[in-house]
Amino acid sequence: MSGDDPERRYTEWRCTNCGHGVPKNNPPCDRCGNMSFEQVEVTGGDFDDEIAGASTLELLRENALTVGAAVAILLVVSVAGLASAGVFVVADPFGLGYKFGAVEAVQPDDDGTLTAAELHGRVTAAHRDTSMRWYGRGLELSYRSDAGTDAALVEEVTTVATWYAEYVGDGGEAASLEVTVRTDDRRARVTVQRADAAAFAAGDISRSEFQSRVFERS
């Protein structure tokens, strides 16, 4: 705009509580609910300033709940991702008994209690390329198997399931154990439920019944 051009002017109604502008005196304010408006004169310079600078702040303020929820979701996803990658362990971040993070492999000791880390240590001593992590309320275990037949693989996974049952019997808190086994040409996955592991640990079901439950329910 040149210096000789007359400056544009117009009037609008503004909420006396939050300053939100509208073209008509039509309460209540659609932003804060206030019933009082005042008429003000706005120049072209004011109009340009509003376009240039106020829009981002206005949008953030008007959508505070949406923005806050989006930030919270991104934070949770980031934390869970870092924990699952083994950067750290997050214990019960939502008050629901959830955990996220890698479980190191520890050689079992003789204190009579098998921990998740010692369970991982047993698997590491018997198999290759192992990993274990907390994910929610359960444990996820992965390892590479050298089993040459289906029967050998079934027996191998059953043994791992009995170790989990021992962990549950010793007071371990994981609600399940998901076992992923990798061989040279395939991948198998089963999930051992805590209730079945507890029944086996207590002597309420036999090994063969426990094995059947593990493979039939997976």
Q: What is the pLDDT of residue 124?
A: 97
Residues 51 and 113 in one domain: no
Residues 58 and 130 in one domain: no
Residues 114 and 205 in one domain: yes
pLDDT in tens, 199-214: 999 999 999 999 999 9
Using CA atoms in the order 193, 194, 195, 196, what is the torsion angle rounded to 10 degrees? Answer: 60
Residues 119 and 30 in one domain: no
Q: What is the pLDDT of residue 45?
A: 58
pLDDT in tens, 31-65: 888 889 898 887 755 555 555 544 566 666 666 67
Q: What is the pLDDT of residue 144?
A: 96
**Residue 85 maps to a domain:** no
Spatial contact of 98 and 92, defined as CB atoms under 8 Å apart: yes
Distance, CA of 175 to CA of 95 (rounded, Å): 16
Number of domains in the chain: 2
Residues 117 and 54 in one domain: no
Calculate the CA 190 to chain-centre distance: 22
Q: What is the mean pLDDT of residues 118-136?
A: 95
Residues of the domain holding 31: 9-62
For residue 177, report the phi and psi dihedrals to the nearest 5 degrees.
-130, 115
Spatial contact of 194 and 188, defined as CB atoms under 8 Å apart: no
**What is the band of 196 on the pLDDT scale with cuts at 50, 70, 90?**
very high
**Residue 208 maps to a domain:** yes
Residue 56: C-alpha distances to residues 22, 50, 52, 62 (Å): 18, 10, 9, 10
Q: What is the pLDDT of residue 48?
A: 54
**Counting every residue, how long is the chain?**
218
Residues 141 and 40 in one domain: no
Residues 26 and 112 in one domain: no
**Residue 76 maps to a domain:** no
**Residue 86 maps to a domain:** no
- Of all residues in the chain, the percent with pLDDT exceeding 90 is 47
Cβ atoms < 10 Å from Cβ of 134 = 22
Please calculate the CA angle 123-127-132 and round it to the nearest 5 degrees. Answer: 45
Residue 2, C-beta contacts closer than 8 angstroms, at least 6 positions apart? none
**Residue 4 maps to a domain:** no
Spatial contact of 102 and 116, defined as CB atoms under 8 Å apart: no
Residue type, 177: L
Q: What's the alpha-carbon Rg for the chain, to the nearest Å?
A: 31
Q: Are strands 176-182 and 138-144 parallel, antiparallel or unpaired?
A: parallel
Residues 193 and 117 in one domain: yes
**Residue 177 maps to a domain:** yes
**Residue 190 maps to a domain:** yes
pLDDT in tens, 62-93: 666 776 666 666 665 655 555 555 444 556 55
**Residue 111 maps to a domain:** yes
Residue type, 66: T
Residues 56 and 111 in one domain: no
